[in-house]
Structure 1
Amino acid sequence: MKFSVLGPAGTFADAAAQKYLSLHPIDNIELDYHDTFDQVYQAVTPDGLGLLPLENQLDGFVLATLQRLQVADITEIGEVTVPVNFGLAGKVNHLIDIKRIYVQFKTEGQCQKLLTQLPNAQIITTSSNMISVEKLRDGQQGDAAIMPQSQLEETDFPFKLANVADQTDNNTRFIVFKKQPAMLENPTQPAEDETASFKSALFITPPTEEVGVLYQILSYFAKTHLNLVTIMSMPTRQKIGIYSFYIEISGTLKQKQILFETLQRMADVYTIHPLGIYAL
């Protein structure tokens, strides 16, 4: 059984996968590393798992993941949050000597205070923090890279600077998923602790854009006392002005049947793309 994640080994995704497996042990599972979000998704087998970053504390939701979830037939089975911090290493003697810096696309938004100190440095965006490290190793004098703090301690570049994120208490949330469509019916399961908490994620797309459409959508959840913890608008790409709403809902397992009944009613009016429900 394969567990597909962004790689190579040493990334925050790798740390998240390791943490998930420590909390939810699975026999005979192998970590399967890939360079891009699409490669991770495509690599997930019917009996395997995938993991993608969803939200960073400093830089918000990961657009590339939301775009994939918007059209993907997957079922989320859990989430895991890991602390993230960054260091800077370079083939320079001083910070002002940096001429080119490699930065993973989501890392850039978490290290703005540092990057504003380098107005003359060329920022080269990468798809992975570990690819930034590789680019630096293969680079030339004047190059630098932002990398996971843990990797900084293992490098031997002449210049190092620790803790370069905009704040030290920074975390990233990852989702774990199976490659099978989530359902709008409440699956039959063994007896559950009804006081335990769940989270559910989905996309809701109205047929047209009209005054009050978001209010109408939210009223379904308000009337049933379901707690919305996240709402994000995403273009459908079919027509300007028509948006899907990415929504996360939390509650107790006692409310799970209420959630499914609510979504089934909403499906008569809106396009519902469920992404799964899982215990917290």
Structure 2
Amino acid sequence: MKFSVLGPEGTFADAAAKDYLKTQPNANVLFDYHPSFDQVYQAVSGDDIGLLPLENQLDGYVSATLQRLQTADVTEIGEITIPVNFGLVANVAELSQIKRIYVQFKTEGQCQKLLSSLPNVQIITTSSNMVSLEKFQSGELGDAAIIPQSQMTDLSLPLMRDNVADQDDNSTRFIIFKSQPANLEKLSRHHLTTNHFKAPLFVTPSFNDQPGTLYDILGYFAEHQLNLVTLMSLPVKSQLGVYSFYLELSGTREQQEVLFTTLQKMAAKYHVHPLGYYAV
């Protein structure tokens, strides 16, 4: 089985994938590294699996992942959360001598205190923390990079600062998925291996905006005591001002039947796009 993740080896996605495999008995996989979200998503087929970041504790949800899930025919089969932290490296002796700093697009939002203290430095956004490191290592005098703390031990540079994220307690949640539509009827036949579940989905109104739409959607879950742990809105892109709602529900094994009964009921009024149902 192939496991597609954001690469190269040594990224937080790589660490998350390896941690996830520790929870899976007899997992025999070949790691498949890609430089972009789209390439990871496109690489997953058949019985292969993929992993993408979904949420960071400091910088919130990863829009690049949510936008793909919004229309994707995938089934999420699990999630894994890992601690993340960052260090600063530079080939100069003082912060004031830094001219350019390489930083991954999501890392940037987690290190605002440091970056705001360098107002005259050119920020160059990259697609990966490891790309930031590679560009720094092949760069010029005055370059710097924010990289995973785990990569600091192999370096010896004039300027090195540990733990430059806005707070030490920081983590990122990743989803594991297959390239298969998450059919409600098929999902309802899946039995949990633990007592608690999570069920992510998109709900899109099938009519023009009107007062009380979100209240009505949330009422389905409140009526049946299904816990709502996430609520996000994303534009549908086909029309200005029209939005889908990304939801994550949680519950116990005893609520499995009521979960799928509720979603089937909602599907008669709204467009329900399930993304999976898995044990947590």
| TM-score past 0.5 threshold | yes
Residue 254 of structure 1: how far off its partner (Å): 0.9
CA offsets per residue over residues 3-32 of structure 1, 9 Å max, x none? 000011111001100100011134331111
* Structure 1: distance between partners of 2:131 and 2:122: 17
> How do residues 11-90 of structure 1 correspond to structure 2 at under 5 angstroms?
11-90=11-90
Name the structure 2 match of 1:137: 137
* Structure 1: distance between partners of 2:157 and 2:250: 46
CA offsets per residue over residues 178-229 of structure 1, 9 Å max, x none? 1100011144346x57x70000000000022111100010001111110000
* Structure 1: distance between partners of 2:12 and 2:257: 35
Q: Amino acid of the residue matched to residue 21 of structure 1?
A: L
Name the structure 1 match of 2:180: 180
| Secondary structure at 1:119 match in 2 | coil
* Structure 2: distance between partners of 1:74 and 1:110: 29
Name the structure 2 match of 1:197: 196
Q: Which deviates the most, 22-31 or 95-104?
A: 22-31
CA offsets per residue over residues 89-122 of structure 1, 9 Å max, x none? 0111111111000000000000001001110000
Name the structure 2 match of 1:265: 265
Name the structure 1 match of 2:221: 221
* Structure 2: distance between partners of 1:154 and 1:45: 36
CA offsets per residue over residues 138-160 of structure 1, 9 Å max, x none? 10000000000011121222211
CA offsets per residue over residues 36-70 of structure 1, 9 Å max, x none? 00010011121100000000000000000000100
C-alpha contact (below 8 Å) 2:188/2:257 kept by paired residues: no
What TM-score, normalized to structure 1? 0.97
Query: Is there any run of 5+ residues in structure 1 with no aligned partner, and where?
Result: none
* Structure 2: distance between partners of 1:217 and 1:26: 41
C-alpha contact (below 8 Å) 1:205/1:245 kept by paired residues: yes
C-alpha contact (below 8 Å) 1:227/1:251 kept by paired residues: yes
| Secondary structure at 1:107 match in 2 | helix
CA offsets per residue over residues 124-143 of structure 1, 9 Å max, x none? 00000000000001100000
| Secondary structure at 2:135 match in 1 | helix
| Secondary structure at 1:115 match in 2 | helix
C-alpha contact (below 8 Å) 1:2/1:45 kept by paired residues: no
Q: Which deviates the most, 28-37 or 180-189?
A: 180-189
Instruction: Kindly tell me the number of residue pairs found equivalent between the two proteins.
Output: 278
| Secondary structure at 2:277 match in 1 | strand
Identity %: 63
Query: Is there any run of 5+ residues in structure 2 with no aligned partner, and where?
Result: none
> How do residues 135-174 of structure 1 correspond to structure 2 at under 5 angstroms?
135-174=135-174
| Secondary structure at 2:109 match in 1 | helix
Q: Amino acid of the residue matched to residue 188 of structure 1?
A: R
| Secondary structure at 1:18 match in 2 | helix
Q: Amino acid of the residue matched to residue 244 of structure 2?
A: S
* Structure 2: distance between partners of 1:178 and 1:25: 18
Name the structure 1 match of 2:255: 255
- Measured on the aligned residues, the alpha-carbon RMSD in Å equals 1.2
| Secondary structure at 1:72 match in 2 | coil
Name the structure 2 match of 1:92: 92
